[in-house]
Amino acid sequence: MTRIDGKALSNTIKGEIAAEVKRISMSQQRPPHLAAVLVGDDPASAVYVRNKVTSCEKIGFESTLIKKRESTTEEELLEIVRELNEDKDVDGFIVQLPLPKHINEHRITLAIDPNKDVDGFHPTNFGKMAQGLPTFLPATPFGIMTMLDRYNIEIQGKNCVVLGRSNIVGTPISILLSRKAKPGNATVTLCHSRTKNLEEYTRKADVIVIALGIPNYLKADMVKEGVVIIDVGINRIEAPERKSGYKLVGDADFDEVAPKCSFITPVPGGVGPMTVTSLLTNTLQSYKNTFKIQ
């Protein structure tokens, strides 16, 4: 069993980006610049956004964090998006999801300039991804594809089962895995809350990507020997023995399934750090697009 070290791989790629930034930004007026908008006080979102911003500093990007109170209106947020769209000093930006219930996420996503949509959530970019055209790939699926690639995990012709059909992870990763590309060319089944006899699919899977948000859901009797498990879940569960009072676990029951796996991503330290790295890669690409750098 190989534990896929997303943290180490992410650091390697960040080093590569930092070297490239150093090389190309010397001849430009400014370094790449990522902005992040955080609305409300969801503690997990605050941690994710902080990671994104501090990663920027480490690799020589400029970053801006725009923090807004929970009661921010949709109109106020749309105005922030419009300003970021217009700001020539910002290469890309993200609006951290989920947003407070009174804000329509689709309206916000649609308002983002696709050329600055480094999350790859805008339908223009999502459509390009589906057709295999160059675009910003959504950060988490992009991170997963990079992991599969750098660990040389063969998925061509394999049975891949994706659990969860969110716009952020399940749906785009199912498209990327099935695309005629490398990595890709897999036979993909997308399972969700209405799938009947889910175990029948998971037991036949060569690769499982699980993004359900249910702690320790996937058990040993649901998978076959030699399976590859990519665990996207980041769930906080109570842990009175810890100082913080909680710990993070994935959607797969790691201790149970790991002995049966050929490869598995841990939580934390698996997919999470790769998501951040992909966002940085997209921001660098946006900067290169702006300054017409090859």
Return the residues of window 73-112 that contact ligand GUN according to CB under 6 A.
94-97
Q: Binding of ligand GUN at residue 231 (CB under 6 A)?
A: no
Question: Which of 1, 12, 294, 285 has the alpha carbon at shortest distance from 150?
Answer: 12
Q: Which of 17, 92, 103, 119 binds ligand GUN (CB under 6 A)?
A: 119
Nearer CB in complex with ligand GUN: 95/103: 95
Backbone angles phi, psi at 192, to 5 degrees: -155, -170
**Candidate list 96, 116, 206, 251, residue with the active-site label:** 96
Identified binder of ligand GUN from the candidate list 10, 146, 275, 286, rule CB under 6 A: 275
Residue 152 token pair: 């040389």
The answer to whether 274 touches 286, Cβ cutoff 8 Å, is no
Separation of CA 140 from chain center? 2
52 is catalytic: yes
Minimum CB–partner distance for residue 19 and ligand GUN (Å): 25
Tokens 């029951």 label which residue?
253
Structural tokens at position 218: 């996937």
Provide the pairing of β-strand 246-249 with 235-238: antiparallel
CB of 136 to ligand GUN, least distance (A): 11
Q: Which amino acid is at 2?
A: T
101 or 242: CB nearest ligand GUN: 101
Q: How far apart are CA 183 and CA 181, in angstroms?
A: 6
Closer residue to ligand GUN, CB minimum distance, 5 or 105: 105
Whether 42 sits among the annotated catalytic residues: the reply is no
| Binding stretches for ligand GUN (CB under 6 A) | 94-97, 119, 139-140, 168, 275
Residues with active-site annotation: 52, 96, 119
